[in-house]
Structure 1
């Protein structure tokens, strides 16, 4: 008959082996989840490009979405006007119709109506709201009740960029209010 100490040691080793097995499965699942996240990002970008092309074909070129990629997160030179081609030769992105994709850092005397594309409409909507707003609410206000997940994610990206540039504030990255 086995001793209590031997039974406890055997059970301890079984639990330790199970913990190792579970950690290996967790690692494999994390790698799989990362791959799925990359595919999600790829499909979102494709969907945004599709929307931009559709809008351009319909003549809604001024509504083209701005991507959420870090490479598109360039700041405008301090003396460049919003919408001006300053820096365009240096690889700066421009939206349809030549409008600048720059979102300048907010200054005390900055006018949100001079922001490119939908950014000015987003800032105005958030300023008029009585309480913090979410991306879904902003997307519905801009695109109607049928604003899909792709549009909501595009708007969320724009809201976060406006927070980075001090046009809006957000404590949690989900609810947004006007700055200053």
Structure 2
């Protein structure tokens, strides 16, 4: 009987060692997974930040180019324009949000911004970013809410929305006034 107990103890020790080894491997894989998730999140945030900055630069460049001619960039003593003159003002492939002007429709906006404006318009009252995120098909995660909040702020700055209280967004008043004026004109037409 003694040898049976010794054999069971040896097998138990081997099983315990295997469990410990697997737990160590699991801890290592979990640590690596967390590092990979953090790296992915940093890349996503960097991409969104760069897109926002490029969009703002593009909008600023178009406003600048509408109002002032572009001066050639002179390099060295030869006074020839650089091949890159004005290149910093041309941004390709970036979504930009134009400033609202009378008669402008949401079709001028990139799709995600158009969706946000439509959700705000359809809401019965002021809405917060966290209420908009699920309505535009995004998961209600902190990163998505913050990204949407940035887009809402940009829409406010460009005249598409109003922010009556901090974090509460409504359709811009001028849009309501424009709609009211249009309905009044239709009502007064013969």
Partners in 2 of 1:159 and 1:167 — Cα distance? 9
Deviation at 1:142, TM superposition (A): 1.1
TM-score, with normalisation over the residues of structure 1?
Answer: 0.51
Match of 1:48 in 2: 45
RMSD: 3.2
1:73 corresponds to which residue?
56
Preserved contact between residue 45 and residue 67 of structure 1 (Cα < 8 Å): no
Task: Give 1:178's match in structure 2, choosing from 171, 182, 189.
Answer: 171
**Offset at residue 154 of structure 1 (A):** 0.2
Aligned length, in residue pairs: 113
Partners of 2:170 and 2:137 in 1: how far apart? 20
Equivalents in 2 of 1:44, 1:175: separation in Å?
27
Name 2:95's counterpart in structure 1. Answer: 101
Query: CA 1:133–1:66 in 2, change beyond 3 Å: closer, same or farther?
Result: farther
Structure 1 stretches lacking a partner, 5+ long:
1-41, 53-64, 81-87
Deviations 1:94-124 (A, max 9, x none): 5xxx3x4211110011111220140111111
Query: Secondary structure of the residue that 2:143 maps to in structure 1?
Result: helix
Distance change (3 Å), C-alpha of 1:43 and 1:128: same
From the CA coordinates, give the structure whose radius of gyration is larger: 2
Q: Indicate the structure with greater helix content.
A: 2
| Contact 2:127/2:169, CA 8 A, preserved across alignment | yes
1:31 maps to: none
Q: Which runs of 5+ in 2 are unaligned?
A: 1-38, 67-85, 175-190
Alignment of 1:110-149 (within 5 A): 110-144=104-138, 146-149=139-142
TM-score using structure 2 length: 0.49
Tell me how far apart the structure 1 counterparts of residues 50 and 116 of structure 2 sit (CA, whole Å): 16
Deviations 1:119-176 (A, max 9, x none): 11111111111100100011111125x3211000000000000000000000233000
CA contact 2:97–2:110 (8 Å) conserved in 1: yes
Structure showing greater relative contact order (alpha-carbon pairs closer than 8 Å, 6 or more residues apart): 1
Structure 2 residue 161 is the aligned partner of structure 1 residue 163: no
What is the CA distance between 1:48 and its match in structure 2? 3.1
